[in-house]
């Protein structure tokens, strides 16, 4: 009898004994800072450029190589970059420009410009960064001014190079026209603009639909007026393309011209050997204006 009671008590004790505590494996927190060439860059700002840290240096090298190929820079050049973001290209240029060279970067994202001012300009005073609070449904929906309100505070005829990577690919005709007018004012007589576009015609549109050569489904099947096509009606500024005729008209109105034939990118599938995904236009001041 006593033995039975002891066995029962033992079984009850086993049932009510607490389960052993298993400590969960520690979960590493995702990094918030990216160490790049001695700069501690917030990853949240890197993502605003359209790619993460894993692609940051590759894109910088691609930009550098493409500019060197089509619009070579000199250490003494005075440079403007529209859409400078978190300073990816500016950081490379800090090792290239000499004491005669200058860099001005402009962007519509306030946090990115503030970081560049505090971290790049503080070390290299010849690098300046300017914020324009432009309303942009994609990148700055709370912006208070229009692109047409932008007046870049640099002297007329003072710039050797103007660089735009993936800027005109998100803008509509009126906005592009305003920038082109500013560029005509700012360029030296022998200055050049390096700008990426999506350039389309009937053959390009057919090829893009058939090949779908990018992860972004760039087919531009939606017309947005004469000579303008968009990729997604729900996000019109997500990707914008223009016909060569529309681009030529905009250049003529601004007093600019193509300095070289269009360098087509691989996005449409027609030029699979191209190094850049987008189409590159090199512009100069028109000789007839």
Strand, helix or coil for residue 55: helix
Least Cα distance to 194 among 61, 71, 62, 60 occurs for 71
CATH of 54-285, one of 2.40.50.140, 3.40.50.170, 3.40.50.2000, 3.40.50.150: 3.40.50.150
Q: Do residues 59 and 277 touch, judged by C-beta distance below 8 A?
A: no
Neighbouring C-beta atoms of residue 27, cutoff 10 Å: 6
Indicate the domain borders of the chain. Answer: 54-285
Please state, in angstroms and as integers, the Cα–Cα distance from residue 201 to each residue in 35, 177, 195, 227, following that order: 42, 21, 19, 9
Please state, in angstroms and as integers, the Cα–Cα distance from residue 40 to each residue in 43, 44, 56, 122, 254, following that order: 9, 12, 13, 14, 40
* Polymer length of the chain: 289
Res 50: pLDDT: 80
pTM of structure: 0.89
Res 51: pLDDT: 85
Res 215: pLDDT: 85
Summarised one tens digit per residue, pLDDT across range 139-178 is 899 999 999 999 999 999 999 999 999 999 999 999 999 9
What one-character DSSP code corresponds to residue 27? P
Q: Tokens at residue 193, please?
A: 């603009």
Q: What is the largest CA-CA distance in the chain?
A: 116
Sign (positive or negative) of CA dihedral 276, 174, 106, 132: negative
Low-confidence ranges of the chain (pLDDT < 50): 1-2, 5-6, 8-9, 12-17
Res 12: pLDDT: 42
Name residues whose C-beta falls within 8 Å of residue 65's C-beta, 6 or more positions apart in sequence: 275
Least Cα distance to 101 among 120, 124, 123, 84 occurs for 124
């Amino acid at each position: 009898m006593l033995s039975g009671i002891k066995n029962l008590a033992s079984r009850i004790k086993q049932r009510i004994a607490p389960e052993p505590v298993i400590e969960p494996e520690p979960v590493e927190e995702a990094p918030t800072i990216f160490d790049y060439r001695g700069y501690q860059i917030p990853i949240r700002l890197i993502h605003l450029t359209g790619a993460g840290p894993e692609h940051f240096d590759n894109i910088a090298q691609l930009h550098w190589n493409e500019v060197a190929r089509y619009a070579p820079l000199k250490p003494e050049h005075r440079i403007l970059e529209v859409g400078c973001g978190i300073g990816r290209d500016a950081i490379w240029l800090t090792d290239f420009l000499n004491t005669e060279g200058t860099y001005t970067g402009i962007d519509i994202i306030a946090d990115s410009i503030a970081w560049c001012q505090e971290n790049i300009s503080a070390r290299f005073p010849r690098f300046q960064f300017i914020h324009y609070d432009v309303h942009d449904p994609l990148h700055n929906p709370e912006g208070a001014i229009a692109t047409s309100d932008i007046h870049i505070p640099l002297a007329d005829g003072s710039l050797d190079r103007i660089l735009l990577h993936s800027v005109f690919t998100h803008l509509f005709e009126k906005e592009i026209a305003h920038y082109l007018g500013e560029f005509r004012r700012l360029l030296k007589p022998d200055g050049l603009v390096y700008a990426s576009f999506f350039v389309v015609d009937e053959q390009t549109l057919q090829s893009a639909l058939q090949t779908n050569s990018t992860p972004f489904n760039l087919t531009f099947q939606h017309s947005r007026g004469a000579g303008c096509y968009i990729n997604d009606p729900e996000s019109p500024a997500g990707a914008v393309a223009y016909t060569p005729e529309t681009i030529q008209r905009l250049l003529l109105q601004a007093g600019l011209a193509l300095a070289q034939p269009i360098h087509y990118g691989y996005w449409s599938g027609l030029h699979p050997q191209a190094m850049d995904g987008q189409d590159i236009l090199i512009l100069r001041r028109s000789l007839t204006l």
